[in-house]
Chain A
């Protein structure tokens, strides 16, 4: 087993783990934190934490990917709590027009008047959805990321988030609906 080899000191096994999971963890961090720089730092922190606690993984308690995702999620929540104070300070210092309600998402994306081709349009839609996702509460955001972007099943998400499956489903429903409302408002203003 890869983890056992890694715990025994096999550097090649650890590299294989990094190669296998770095993409998944980076994407979770990127969608949750919102910026590529933060995602890179957080991914690195996740692997450092994983490297230190690898011996504590018990395969009888769940799949390795669930364990990895739990570490990632816990670290993201810690990061969110740490940066929450900074964001509150920033929002107080920022001008009124920059606050959430004052600046719709349509103003954050590029000019819509230019005739975009399919690729550019897809990229713009992706950026819009990414920005809308960042405006959801962390509880709804993490549930949507795990379900709709990482394809975890409800039981795995419940394990990662440490909440009942019913709560997971409820958060996913509310998250999807909230996201749709945000994007509907955005595109209505653009049109």
Chain B
């Protein structure tokens, strides 16, 4: 803007008063000097007209309506709650929470990671199999779920059930011991009553023997001469006829 003086006012002074003049807050001699400068200055006159026109154009712009979801989105992105719920929370007094509910909430909060782990398919399958095995075992043992309901949890009843169970187990053990004792006595009696059997014949029937094995392997320490037995460690005399004759009688015990 060319800075020259017109009617006692310079262009830069005119520029600084322009906004106030458009706002209508200039008065007195200051306003007269301003208007006179605008009339005579070729640069400032059109500037005043354009500035006024521009302000009038801007008056055409009305306020736009924000989207209906804007407030909800803002609240959701800042506090994490939507407006409707917040309004309900503000209107309603905070609910009374008992200590039991607080403990339950605390436990459930603490158990949440554990529960999330358990819910994995591999653990779920394992627990399923364990439950199935347990139910099969209980059914085989004759335990019915209906019986469990009748169990009394009073200390006296628990003590009574304990002693009963203990007595049953001891009786069962004793009964088993009695059975073995009876069996042992019966076998002893049978041994005593049954007579001793004759010794088996030395000459086996070779017709059916296909093994081609020698008959009496256990007598390796003895050498056989005809039908007489000779002790292997016995000193031999000058003639074979001096050998001592050993007779062996075997008593076999029949079992």
- Answer whether A and B are interacting partners: yes
Q: Which residues does A use to contact B, with CB under 8 Å?
A: 11-12, 14-15, 18-19, 22-23, 26-27, 30-31, 36, 40, 43-44, 47-48, 51, 122, 125-126, 129-130, 132-133, 144, 148-149, 154, 166, 169-170, 172-173, 175-181, 183-184
Excluding A14-B75, A169-B19, 10 further A-B contacts by CB distance (< 8 Å) are A22-B74, A23-B63, A40-B66, A47-B74, A126-B61, A148-B58, A148-B59, A170-B15, A173-B19, A176-B58
- Give per-residue flags for B203-229: 1 if the beta carbon is below 8 A from chain A beta carbons, else 0: 000000000000000000000000000
- Give per-residue flags for B83-105: 1 if the beta carbon is below 8 A from chain A beta carbons, else 0: 10011011000000000000000
If A11-B86, A44-B70 touch, does A180 touch B53 (CB 8 Å cutoff)?
Answer: yes
If A23-B66, A27-B64 touch, does A15 touch B75 (CB 8 Å cutoff)?
Answer: yes
If A14-B79, A15-B83, A180-B54 touch, does A44 touch B74 (CB 8 Å cutoff)?
Answer: yes
Q: Which residues does B use to contact A, with CB under 8 Å?
A: 15-16, 18-20, 22, 47, 50-55, 57-67, 70-71, 73-75, 77-79, 81, 83, 86-87, 89-90
Please classify the interface of chain B as helix (H, G, I), strand (E, B), loop, or mixed, using the class held by over half of its residues.
helix
Q: Which of A18, A51, A132 is packed against the most chain B CB atoms within 10 Å?
A: A18
**Are A149 and B86 in touch, CB under 8 angstroms?**
no
Tell me the complex Cα distance, A27–B77, Å: 20
Subset of 7 A-B contacts with CB under 8 Å: A14-B79, A27-B66, A31-B61, A47-B74, A125-B60, A173-B18, A176-B55
**Which of A18, A44, A51, A144 interacts with B58 by CB under 8 Å?**
A144
**Are B63 and A27 in touch, CB under 8 angstroms?**
yes
**Are B62 and A126 in touch, CB under 8 angstroms?**
yes
**Which of A15, A40, A181 interacts with B70 by CB under 8 Å?**
A40
